[in-house]
Structure 1
Amino acid sequence: MSARLRVCLPDQKLLDALEPTDGVDFVLWDLTGPAPEGRLDLLVPGYMGKPAALAALEGVDVGLVQSQSIGYDGVADVLPAGCVFANAAGVHETSTAELAVGMMIASQRGIPDFVRNQASGTWDNTQRASLADRRVLLVGYGGVGKAIEARLLPFEAEVTRMGSRTREDDRGTVYGIDSLYEQLPLHEIVVVSVPLSEQTAQLVDAKFLAAMPDDALLVNVARGPVADTDALLAETSSGRLRAALDVTDPEPLPAGHALWTTPGVLITPHVGGASSAMFPRMVRLIRKQIGLLLDGKEPVNVVLR
């Protein structure tokens, strides 16, 4: 490592938030155009950039690449050899959980219908489903799943946790994914927050959806390709299931796509982490990584080497 740490940032906003820092030289580069000369001890790509942009690092002397996202699907395919890659665990979980619970409440209590009724002056006070006392299955029990659980419990929902393998913790059993089809029929709300991988691509397929009980709600805050769009459209357009989707496949969802107008489907445009909580938390993470590197210590959140 150089005597002074060289940190490469994608935009002026991050630069303004981080300067000045003793022992650190900052440079700006958004992975377009020529790379800065010399070694970059820490590089932060832009938020929501495509993994393919990391191909620009080929031939650049980079130590740590600090992503601004939790997910890193597709990164291993393009990350040049020798680069260390860290994700943004700890930055987005709170906001994503906040949105997931908000979508559950909106879908259960009929908020989208009430918004439409307000535009037409329609007074429809028929009873709606609650979130309280509902059985909620969390498919994916990483940082986002745990943050969703922490927010659901005060709403008096009955929460079942499911991870990659069966294990016990202080709240009881975390079921393994091998018990998925035993658990799906028992839950009125299913929340998917798994990372996208070969194992989870198209996890929410026709078989998965068919195992959910009538009028159940699917919430997807994972990645669009975790769900089979055609199967999801078939179940929701028939009225048997409902869905709250922060992610879709394809994404962005085309303007004329049938999901937009399917009754019982609530769509947000991949904004789980896009709240005012993100930027200060991202700045804190970068500062932490800088401090660790200055002290000669290992960075946190490393997911690829």
Structure 2
Amino acid sequence: MSAALHSSAEPKPAQFRPKVALAMQDVDLRDALFSKRLKSRLEAIADCDFSEVIQDFSIVPNELLGDVDVLITGWFSPKINAEVLSRMPRLRLIAHAGGSVKAHVLPECWERGVVVTTAAEANALPVAEFTLGLILLAGKSALAASNLYSQRQTKIDRELEFPETGNYERAVGIVGASTIGKLVLERLQPFDFDALVYDPTISDAEARRMGARRVGLDELMACSDIVSLHAPVLPETVNMIGSRQLAAMKDGSTLINTARGELVDQEALVRELVSQRINACLDVTNPEPLPAGNPLYGLPNVLLTPHVAGSMGTELHRLTAYALTEVERYAAGEPPKFPVGLTDLERMA
């Protein structure tokens, strides 16, 4: 990757200041990503016209693209294809202030020698934190206890009502040793959980290094008190959690999905949850949002949140900080910290 950073025809001077352009959804996202401090940080090492946010390359004049060295992209960036690259001969780095680059960075970028980086690890942190919180609350039967307390509005005998509740020696199954899945496993280690992991791409030794025991999907679903999904959406993972897997879950167990709704057969999930045999904490669904009147909105055993696990609010600044680190490294002639290769696209969400 370091060779690609020096792939321009002329050597860069010691005080090289790249020209940076922003490509993302809109100015509101720009303002959410860049605090005053982060804007000053970029201005200290690069030239960037913050008033220009590229939402559609086709309407941007060539003179504004021809001398761009770096693109900082955000959510819903326009696609960077061969035609765009032909208009940006100096482009050497795409620093994505977000997670997956699959939707906007096309293979032509790597073929042209452009370095691509991502802040996926930064975006994974709040998801892992949110998931850990859900796991701990699920283990304490917080949703059921809250509902019962609201119904009775009097003292609750917790030992009588929730004799199986607690986070000691609970089995937690992690489906997918992705970036987020690994972070969740790491955060589970200080607790007294029995961690299981299903991921056909890792070995038993790798699972042990993550503090978990590698098992098959069927065993994980049947043995776990709490199942948390962290797999990417691929042809082989769509509806990987179907009727058989849901039926195998223990009575009273909890399914957590902070990944993608497509991983679960939605109709099978609704049937299982309507029976109230199991519980669910769902930050994502399929479709998203669910249509008005969907039974999941009103079920006492379901916690629905509107896709809040990922970076939001102040957490967006972490994404920008990761992207700016890549710009700084590029300006200094150093290799990227979080590069994305062409083959990585296959495993991205």
Question: What's the secondary structure of 1:201's corresponding residue?
Answer: coil
Question: Is the contact made by 1:87 and 1:301 (CA closer than 8 Å) also made in structure 2?
Answer: yes
What pairs up with 1:1-305 in 2 under 5 angstroms?
1=8, 4-9=17-22, 10=24, 11-12=30-31, 14=34, 16=36, 17-20=38-41, 21-27=43-49, 28-32=52-56, 34-35=59-60, 36-47=64-75, 49=76, 53-54=78-79, 58-59=83-84, 60-61=87-88, 62-72=91-101, 74-75=102-103, 79=106, 81-82=108-109, 84-113=115-144, 115-116=146-147, 122-123=153-154, 125=156, 126=158, 127-128=161-162, 129-163=165-199, 164-169=201-206, 170=209, 175=214, 179-275=216-312, 278-305=315-342
Runs of 5+ in structure 2 lacking a partner? 1-7, 25-29, 343-349
Question: Is the contact made by 2:198 and 2:214 (CA closer than 8 Å) also made in structure 1?
Answer: yes
The percentage of aligned residue pairs carrying the same residue is 26
Question: Is the contact made by 1:30 and 1:46 (CA closer than 8 Å) also made in structure 2?
Answer: no
- Letter paired with 2:53: W
Taking structure 1 as reference, are residues 118 and 240 closer, same or farther at Cα in structure 2, changes over 3 Å only?
A: closer
Taking structure 1 as reference, are residues 93 and 23 closer, same or farther at Cα in structure 2, changes over 3 Å only?
A: closer
- Rounded to whole Å, the distance in 2 between the matches of 1:160 and 1:38 is 51
TM-superposed CA distance for 1:218, in Å, is: 0.9
Question: What's the secondary structure of 2:120's corresponding residue?
Answer: coil
- Letter paired with 2:119: A
Question: What's the secondary structure of 1:250's corresponding residue?
Answer: coil
Structure with higher helix content: 2
Question: What's the secondary structure of 1:137's corresponding residue?
Answer: strand
- Rounded to whole Å, the distance in 2 between the matches of 1:216 and 1:242 is 6
Taking structure 1 as reference, are residues 243 and 99 closer, same or farther at Cα in structure 2, changes over 3 Å only?
A: same
TM-superposed CA distance for 1:266, in Å, is: 1.0
Give the TM-score of the pair, scaled to structure 2: 0.74
- Rounded to whole Å, the distance in 2 between the matches of 1:146 and 1:293 is 28
TM-superposed CA distance for 1:99, in Å, is: 0.9
CA shift digits 1:163-196 (9 cap, x unpaired): 32323044666526xx222332111111111122
- Rounded to whole Å, the distance in 2 between the matches of 1:123 and 1:204 is 39
Taking structure 1 as reference, are residues 172 and 115 closer, same or farther at Cα in structure 2, changes over 3 Å only?
A: closer
Which protein, 1 or 2, shows the higher relative CO under an 8 Å CA cutoff with sep ≥ 6?
Answer: 2
Question: Is the contact made by 1:44 and 1:68 (CA closer than 8 Å) also made in structure 2?
Answer: yes
Question: Is the contact made by 2:81 and 2:109 (CA closer than 8 Å) also made in structure 1?
Answer: no
- Rounded to whole Å, the distance in 2 between the matches of 1:171 and 1:165 is 11
Count of aligned pairs between the two proteins: 298
- Letter paired with 1:160: L
Taking structure 1 as reference, are residues 46 and 253 closer, same or farther at Cα in structure 2, changes over 3 Å only?
A: farther
- Rounded to whole Å, the distance in 1 between the matches of 2:106 and 2:171 is 41
- Rounded to whole Å, the distance in 1 between the matches of 2:284 and 2:293 is 16
Which has the larger displacement, 1-10 or 234-243? Answer: 1-10
Question: Is the contact made by 1:236 and 1:263 (CA closer than 8 Å) also made in structure 2?
Answer: no
- Rounded to whole Å, the distance in 2 between the matches of 1:303 and 1:144 is 16
Taking structure 1 as reference, are residues 201 and 44 closer, same or farther at Cα in structure 2, changes over 3 Å only?
A: farther
Taking structure 1 as reference, are residues 99 and 205 closer, same or farther at Cα in structure 2, changes over 3 Å only?
A: same
TM-superposed CA distance for 1:100, in Å, is: 0.9
Which has the larger displacement, 281-290 or 294-303? Answer: 294-303
Taking structure 1 as reference, are residues 210 and 113 closer, same or farther at Cα in structure 2, changes over 3 Å only?
A: closer
Question: Is the contact made by 1:292 and 1:299 (CA closer than 8 Å) also made in structure 2?
Answer: yes
- Select the structure of larger CA radius of gyration: 2
Question: What's the secondary structure of 2:329's corresponding residue?
Answer: helix
CA shift digits 1:193-226 (9 cap, x unpaired): 1122222222112222223222221111111111
- Rounded to whole Å, the distance in 1 between the matches of 2:94 and 2:131 is 29
Taking structure 1 as reference, are residues 224 and 108 closer, same or farther at Cα in structure 2, changes over 3 Å only?
A: same
Question: Is the contact made by 1:117 and 1:123 (CA closer than 8 Å) also made in structure 2?
Answer: no
Give the TM-score of the pair, scaled to structure 1: 0.83
- Letter paired with 1:45: T
TM-superposed CA distance for 1:248, in Å, is: 1.1
TM-superposed CA distance for 1:82, in Å, is: 2.1
Question: Is the contact made by 2:35 and 2:317 (CA closer than 8 Å) also made in structure 1?
Answer: no
